[in-house]
Amino acid sequence: MSELTQETLNELKEIAGRYPDARSGLLPMLHLVQSVQGYVTPEGIEACAEVLDITAAEVAGVATFYTMYKRRPVGDYHVGVCTNTLCAIMGGDLIFERLKEHLEVGNDETTEDGRLTLEHVECNAACDYAPVMMVNWEFMDNMTPESAVELVDRLRSGQDVRSTRGARICTWREAERVLAGYPDDRADEGPAAGPASLEGLRIARERGWRAPEPEEEAR
């Protein structure tokens, strides 16, 4: 685990300074801690508390409330499998079980080589591509047990992997730094929405449908 350097402490202060109420910066500050240390450490909690002049208990309360903040080390790639209703029906449960067997880990556990952390996750708001997985928060759409195994094997072997929507998969720590508010200049890499997400818009345009104007709604 990397220690928090003075440079990181300065960045924590810089993040806090972005907001009229410094405490509003806690969420990106926790992402920055994860980008350096791989998870939210006791040291990171204390550092955030000191910068924001709040208690460590208050910071820990936030860090334990949101599932995106981890209290154990995360691998190079966080592999999330959606097991909410639609994805589960479409095969998400089968994918998750296959990956647990293939990687020899349980939920929220990391492989012995430190490469992959597997977790079942809540809805990714991508039901039009169910079953969906995410790798470091990038979408992998229309997955199957077979394609999921192929995906994790490619990640473990160090191959270049891209989201089904085009973006290159970076490491967990790199992704966490972006979420802390330090862009990697790849925001436009890959489409923002795929064909399935835009199908309703296509049909509406084809049939001349439009949203009612405000005055029409009032009638």
Domain CATH for 103: 3.40.30.10
Mean pLDDT score across all residues of the chain? 93
State the pTM of this model: 0.86
Q: Is residue 1 part of a domain?
A: no
218, pLDDT greater than 60: no
Whether residues 160 and 133 fall in one domain: yes
Burial class (CB in 10 A: 0-12, 13-18, 19+), 196: middle
**Stretch (H or E) spanning 77:** strand 77-82
> For the chain, how many structural domains are there in total?
2
Across the range 50-75, mean pLDDT stands at 96
Q: Is residue 216 part of a domain?
A: yes
Q: How confident is the model at residue 185 (pLDDT cuts 50, 70, 90)?
A: confident
Whether residues 21 and 114 fall in one domain: no
Q: Is residue 164 part of a domain?
A: yes
Q: What is the pLDDT of residue 211?
A: 87
Read off the pLDDT of residues 133-151 as tens digits, 9 standing for 90 and up: 999 999 999 999 999 999 9
Q: What is the pLDDT of residue 209?
A: 94
Q: How confident is the model at residue 106 (pLDDT cuts 50, 70, 90)?
A: very high
Given 65, 96, 116, the domain boundary residue is: 65
Q: Is residue 91 part of a domain?
A: yes
Given 65, 88, 104, the domain boundary residue is: 65
Q: Is residue 38 part of a domain?
A: yes
Share of the chain above pLDDT 90, in %: 81
Q: Is residue 215 part of a domain?
A: yes
What CATH number is associated with residue 43?
A: 1.10.10
Whether residues 29 and 87 fall in one domain: no
Whether residues 114 and 149 fall in one domain: yes
Whether residues 134 and 164 fall in one domain: yes
Q: What string of DSSP letters covers 158-199?
A: T---B-TTSPBP--HHHHHHHHTT---S-TTSS-SS-HHHHH
Q: How far apart are CA 18 and CA 24, in angstroms?
A: 9
**Residue range(s) defining the domain that contains residue 45:** 6-65
